[in-house]
Structure 1
Amino acid sequence: MLTSIFLNVIANISILTTASYILVKLIPKKKIYTISLSQRLWMIGLSGVTSSLLMLFSVKLPENVILDFRHVILILLVYYFGSSVSFPIAVLMAVLRLLWGINPSSIRTASIYIVLGLVLPYVCKKLMKWFNRYAILLMLNAICVSTIALNLFLLYDNLLLSTFICLSVLLLSSSVVIAVTLFIEDLIRMRSLFLKEQERAKMDYLTGLYNMREFNKKWQSIAANDSVRTTAFMMLDIDHFKCINDKYGHANGNFILRQLATILKVGAPDSELVYRVGGEEFCLILNNLPYTEQKKIAEKVRANVASKEFLLENGAGINMTISIGLAASTQKKDMKNLFRLADRCLYKAKNQGRNRVIGATLESE
């Protein structure tokens, strides 16, 4: 008997761990995300399969009572995904229990699961104000085991036996909850590290702006995006930046680049569409704006930079200017030619005296 219980516990842990791994994999690899309807359905389906497998490895007791760790699935879903996923699972668990045979024990168990599906999300939300995740999950587990104890007492009318069984279930299930939660948290931590590394690969280490590689990816996505009707590249370059580096040193040059990056992010319609594409070259993408508005934005950025005093590391201030080449596409999105046109416009701005905006449209070329 003890050997059978031990093997069933091991099987339950293995099944729950595997299901947890798949559930974490279903979470979108994004810093900010929402669970889509299809992902919720996958989670519900996976949880239903997991529940059925756990029932196969349950401990059989008199009066058609079966004990396993199905409730652990429920409390994990309540904690990590909320009622939108956990309540449908609770209903599914109730149905699955009835499919294994309709009797007083199964009817009461099915009813308990539905009640838990309604109550646990509310309790979890309240506990989050006061306790850490492990304490919360252990408390939710204790609530579930208490309902099991009540069911057993009503069936056996034996307080001592019911208490002994439920204390055993509480100790075992608490160990399982801790083990599975540690596994899930490790997976989530690894996922978070992956996202951070992925984000670093997109970023320019000095300014914190997106880099040239991300810029290339973005223009490819814009070309394929029908919701972007018009687009423009605003290419800019610091005037006489080599002289600044030579006179004040590269450390001060880097300090100035970081200050300029902040100005560009503040002045851009979308701070996510600002890129460092070279040493002192930056590019802003302007989507779904008329050409006149694009030129106003470019001129405003140029004027802001010209009027600002840039600080050096010793606290002294210097003034500098930028030249801007603006290339717009008003009818077609030929991104490669748009980039070349922006570069040519920037070159013209440099040749015509710097500290100015030169703009053109693809259609006028």
Structure 2
Amino acid sequence: MAAIIGADTLTLVFYGIFFADRLLLDLFVTTVITVAVGFPLGYFFLRQQLKLALMAAKLDRAARIDHLTSLANRKTFFEEAEAIVGSEAFKEGAVLFMDADHFKSINDTFGHAIGDAVLQEMGSVIRSSIRESDLAARIGGEEFAVFLVEAGRDKTLEVAERIRQNMRGVRRAVGIEDREITVSIGICLHGPGQTLDDILLR
């Protein structure tokens, strides 16, 4: 539309002065030519722009999200948790550090495809067991971490127990009823002056 308005304006000025007798015809021809040439070019460049935007979004997601569980990855977890801790609004929080028990035996017995399915289901259980304001991540192998925002001791224990209980449904979801799938959960409440590294070490 911008190209048509621009082209027709120039035609109106130029032909209105020199060729006023055929002004309407020239306006029509200018519009047709602009649409015929401009639309394909505009479509091509907009399509390329959209492809680049989608590619950038995919790359950004790949850099931030764990591809298997769709939780945050280790890098994103540390960056976002540190930002939360460093904000003026932050008062209290806690970290849950989780490890799937005897995960190697699951891979050895059922294969890596089932192992991946177990990790995916564990990610779903963790995500559904916390609030949207909390941060969950797969930080490596069968290890997961959750940063609970504005959570004291009682709330943290409640969430940890909910996750532990909900993990019982993982084996049914992946079809290995004869194997118990459990997690060990370490809990550390955030104390004054503690960094995220300090909490994870504890």
TM-score range, shorter chain: 0.7 to 0.9
Cα distance in 2 for partners of 1:255, 1:62 equals 71
Aligned residue for 2:188, secondary structure, equals strand
Could you say which residue in structure 1 is the equivalent of 2:97? 235
Counterpart amino acid of 1:247?
Answer: T
Cα distance in 1 for partners of 2:181, 2:15 equals 86
Question: Which has more radius of gyration?
Answer: 1
RCO greater where, 1 or 2, for CA within 8 Å and sep 6 or more?
Answer: 2
Residues 90-142 of structure 1: CA deviation (Å, up to 9, x unaligned) = xxxxxxxxxxxxxxxxxxxxxxxxxxxxxxxxxxxxxxxxxxxxxxxxxxxxx
Could you say which residue in structure 2 is the equivalent of 1:220? 82
Could you say which residue in structure 2 is the equivalent of 1:337? 198
Gaps of 5+ in 1: 1-11, 14-50, 66-155, 342-365
Counterpart amino acid of 1:325?
Answer: G
Could you say which residue in structure 2 is the equivalent of 1:247? 109
Residues 295-338 of structure 1: CA deviation (Å, up to 9, x unaligned) = 21111111221x3251486x442322111111122544522212
Cα distance in 2 for partners of 1:167, 1:180 equals 20
Question: Is 1:298 aligned with 2:157?
Answer: no
Cα distance in 1 for partners of 2:123, 2:41 equals 46
Could you say which residue in structure 2 is the equivalent of 1:203? 65
Equivalence map 1:32-181=2 (5 Å): 58-59=10-11, 60-61=13-14, 161-174=22-35, 175-181=37-43
Could you say which residue in structure 2 is the equivalent of 1:84? none
Cα distance in 1 for partners of 2:51, 2:134 equals 26
Counterpart amino acid of 1:172?
Answer: I
Which among 120, 124, 129 is matched to residue 258 of structure 1?
120
Gaps of 5+ in 2: none
Aligned residue for 1:308, secondary structure, equals helix
Could you say which residue in structure 2 is the equivalent of 1:288? 150
Counterpart amino acid of 2:27?
Answer: C
Alpha-carbon spacing, 1:233–1:272, altered in 2? closer, same or farther (3 Å): closer
In the TM superposition, structure 1's runs of 4+ consecutive aligned residues that sit over 4 Å from their partners are 62-65, 330-333
Residues 20-68 of structure 1: CA deviation (Å, up to 9, x unaligned) = xxxxxxxxxxxxxxxxxxxxxxxxxxxxxxx9xx79x945426679xxx
Alpha-carbon spacing, 1:242–1:316, altered in 2? closer, same or farther (3 Å): closer
* Contact in 1 for aligned 2:134/2:146 (Cα 8 Å): no
Cα distance in 2 for partners of 1:185, 1:321 equals 48
Q: Report the Cα offset of residue 247 of structure 1.
A: 2.8
Alpha-carbon spacing, 1:62–1:280, altered in 2? closer, same or farther (3 Å): closer
Counterpart amino acid of 1:184?
Answer: L
Counterpart amino acid of 1:223?
Answer: V
TM-score, structure 1 length as denominator?
A: 0.47
Could you say which residue in structure 2 is the equivalent of 1:125? none
Which among 129, 136, 143 is matched to residue 274 of structure 1?
136
Cα distance in 2 for partners of 1:272, 1:172 equals 56
Could you say which residue in structure 2 is the equivalent of 1:319? 180
How many residues matched? 195
* Contact in 2 for aligned 1:234/1:324 (Cα 8 Å): yes
Could you say which residue in structure 2 is the equivalent of 1:308? 169
Alpha-carbon spacing, 1:333–1:193, altered in 2? closer, same or farther (3 Å): same
Aligned residue for 1:324, secondary structure, equals strand
| Percent of matched pairs sharing the same residue | 22
Q: Report the Cα offset of residue 284 of structure 1.
A: 1.0
* Contact in 1 for aligned 2:66/2:72 (Cα 8 Å): yes
